[in-house]
Amino acid sequence: MTTGERIKQARLAAGLTQKELAAKVGVKFSAIHKYETGMVVNLKRETIAALAEALNVRPSWLMCMDEEGKPLVNNDEELTEMLEELRDRSDLRMLFSLTKNATKEDIQKTIQIIQMFRDGS
């Protein structure tokens, strides 16, 4: 599944029209159409973040980097907990900071390495 297909799938699941999603994201209606049909494939990080927030999905899912289409957070309390953990842990802040300019391939490799450590492989 492509990023455009995921955008459309999440938009439909959210019960939004392309026009409504465009208004939430702050882009023109035609941009959403182009994203969904694959006419624009290199979306800016800010656009992916705005789309993910508006659609309540993970940015990594939209970018086809993971298969979990679960919401990024389920409620404000969970978001607050995540932000507090990020604030309190310098190691997480460093990891987050290092990924800002990483390529999709770099992030995929990093995720695989972290999963290997987490799974004890």
Q: Where are the domains of the chain?
A: 3-62, 76-119
Quote the CA–CA distance of 56 and 101 in Å, as a whole number: 23
Question: What is the average pLDDT across 4-29?
Answer: 91
Quote the CA–CA distance of 98 and 109 in Å, as a whole number: 13
Q: Are residues 29 and 37 in contact, defined by beta-carbon separation less than 8 angstroms? A: no
Does the structure show a pLDDT above 60 at 34?
yes
Which pTM was predicted? Answer: 0.55
Architecture of the domain defined by 3-62: Orthogonal Bundle (1.10)
Task: Tell me the per-residue pLDDT of 56-106, one tens digit each, with 9 for 90 and over.
Answer: 888 888 887 766 555 445 556 766 777 788 888 898 888 888 887 878 788
| CA angle at 68 for the pair 82 and 52, rounded to the nearest 5° | 60
- Give me the half-sphere count of Cα atoms (radius 13 Å) on the Cβ side of residue 74: 2
DSSP string for 43-80: --HHHHHHHHHHHTS-HHHHTTS-S----S-SSHHHHH
* pLDDT for position 35: 93
